[in-house]
Structure 1
Amino acid sequence: MVKKTRASSGTTQNTESTAPDTGDLDNVDKIRDILFGNQMRDFDRKFSQLEERISNDLGNLRKENSLQIESLQTFIESEIEILASKISTEEQTRIDEMDELDSELKKNVKQIDKKIADIGKSLENQSREINQKMLKQSQDFNTEMNNQLDQTRKRMDNYKQELSTGKVDKSILAEMFNSLALQINADD
């Protein structure tokens, strides 16, 4: 119980009694229990059920979220592994294709180099053969020309001797020039 006392300064102070009246409190509790007891117990029971249901629902939601997160994480990890595998496979395929193209290119370059070398040798051989043929033909032509010149000189010398030994007959001279002209035409 609270009693009001006056202090020496003239103000009112509230002081609690040091010995509470337990009988009055028990009576108030009994009256409260009689008036509101059933409702209070019913509210307590409903609150307990509601709290338990909320706790269960939260636990279920946590489990469900945890399972969904784990499932999503597993799915993402598997997709990452699949993508990494695909990327690795694609990379290896590209590397193999590049190696194959590189080796084929090197092979083609070697073939082209060999063909160029063969063509160069062939042209060199043909050029040498042509030069040798031209040299031989030139030598043969020079030899033939020298022979014909020698024959022509001999004839001219013979004709000169014949002319100088006797009077030149016009018909012999005409025949000589005619034969010389025929010989020159035949050489050309």
Structure 2
Amino acid sequence: MQAVENFDAANDSGDHVDRMREILFGSQMREQAQRLVEVEQRLRQTSERLRSDMEQRLNQLETFVRNDLQRLEQQLRDDRRDRVAAIERIEQTLAGQQRTLDERLAELADRLNHEGHELREQLHEQGKQLAAELRQRHDEVQDRIDQEAGLLRDEKTGREELAGLFSELALRLNRQFNLPGDEQ
């Protein structure tokens, strides 16, 4: 029992101290507690406002980034589509130019072959004409040479006869040659 009395006494003295504190510092402690509650409430409100602002800004940033990425993706798709279309146009143009070039080269090759064939035929024909003309001229020259040779032979014979006549005449003049029927 004594322990209970001591406990009650200690309890009473603890209550007593609490009461004393309440009397001396009670109003200040309540004010401090109230201030702490108010500060806590302001901190909670500020924290909530900051969190809300941050969420709003993050949402705005996310929306901006998403929109910008979508715009860039669309721009990339458009650029790619434009490049593909430009490449296709260039390929078509090149294919057309290649066909035109091939056709022109084929025409040129045909024309060169045709003109080469015609030129060879012309050269062959001219060669035949020149050969015929050369044969004709050769024949003409040969005939002339033969004529001239004949004339020269005839002239040579005429010279020999003339020489014989002159010899005979000289002998007659010298009276060394007599013809039958000439009597002296």
Describe the shift of the 1:129–1:119 C-alpha distance in structure 2 as closer, same or farther (beyond 3 A).
same
Partner Cα separation in structure 1 for residue 22 and residue 92 of structure 2: 99
Is 1:105–2:113 an aligned residue pair?
no
Matched residue SS, 1:20: helix
Which structure shows the higher strand fraction? 1
Q: TM-score, normalised by structure 1?
A: 0.68
Opposite residue 78 of structure 1, the aligned amino acid is N
Tell me which amino acid in the other structure corresponds to 1:20.
D
Task: Tell me, yes or no, if structure 1 residue 135 matches structure 2 residue 124.
Answer: yes
Task: List runs of 5+ in structure 2 lacking aligned partners.
Answer: 160-184
Deviates most, 15-24 or 112-121: 15-24
Structure 1 residue aligned with 2:61: 72
Distance (whole Å) between structure 2 residues aligned to residue 142 and residue 32 of structure 1: 153
AA at the equivalent of 1:120: A
Count of aligned positions? 157
Q: Displacement, 1:166?
A: 8.9
Separation in structure 1 between the aligned mates of residue 156 and residue 57 of structure 2, nearest angstrom: 142
Name the counterpart of 1:81: 70
Query: Which protein is richer in helix relative to its size?
Result: 2
1:45–1:144: structure 2 CA closer, same or farther, 3 Å change rule? same
TM-score by length of 2: 0.69
CA distance in 2, matches of 1:168, 1:16: 199
Distance in 2 separating the partners of 1:71 and 1:128 = 83
- Matched to 1:76, the amino acid is V
Please report the RMSD computed on the Cα atoms of aligned residues, expressed in angstroms: 3.1
**CA 1:101–1:18 in 2, change beyond 3 Å: closer, same or farther?**
farther
User: In the aligned structure 2, how far is the partner of 1:145 from the partner of 1:55?
Assistant: 128
